[in-house]
Amino acid sequence: MSKLKTKTTIITGAANGIGLAAARLFAAEGAAIVLADVDVKNGEAAAEEINRGNGQALFVKTDVSIETEMHGLVQTTLKHFGDLDIMYNNAGYQETHKLHELSDDSWNRQVDINLRGSYLGCKFAVEHFMRKRSGTILNTSSIAGVFPTCDRPAYNAAKGGVIMLTKNIAMEYGEYNIRANVICPGVVRTKMTGLLDNDPESEEGGKRASVLHRVGEPEEIAKAALFLVSDDASFITGISLFVDGGMNLGGLWR
């Protein structure tokens, strides 16, 4: 189990859900993990768990929408571990509003966390990757960044922007041996989707959206993420990988 041996990785939104599952899996594969999140309690607990399991982990409280905090996250990683190899911009946030009911605050909050957070993480990672002439970026978009979903205009727009940002980075920085890909989850059992509350209506809705007739688990997204950041995907860059139980086939809109 050493697909990421000697690789130092930052994962944002790592205190819960997909980010936490990825942190655990990447650590098991040999990576040194920097967990970034605003959730201090769960973030610190996750780092302690990895360290107790003979992994290497550090928690850094980070608001991904604040430039100084994202710059500080990368600098802290370099100071603590001496390098950075993988930047996984995973932090996300959504609210449901129709466009005519959407406030500026809600729009800004969703765009700042989903799109601006990815932009800042990529920007400061790329600066380091250019110097070392190698590096891997993985950004989390969503199936909602490709197909519109009702009541989520800001989330759709922000996640769609993440996809184009990733493609731009892949195109412009490939000459530095920098790869950039984006993962597009479907309905996954996380706090953000509300599926941790054992709500029968939400569960049934998630099942209907997938042609596999079930919701995804965070560990399934993490396994796909592991592939994209590992050397198994060394000739893959600029792609959007759907990990959505077939939602892209039209499950949500049947």
Catalytic choice (119, 155, 173, 176): 155
* Element of type H or E holding 180: strand 178-185
Please choose, from the candidates 182, 174, 172, the residue with its C-alpha nearest in 3D space to the C-alpha of residue 138.
Answer: 182
213 vs 61: CA distance, rounded Å: 37
Phi, psi (degrees; rounded to nearest 5) at 57:
-150, 150
69 vs 74: CA distance, rounded Å: 9
15 vs 185: CA distance, rounded Å: 18
Cβ 80 vs Cβ 58: under 8 Å: yes
Instruction: Establish whether 155 is a catalytic residue.
Output: yes
Catalytic residues: 155
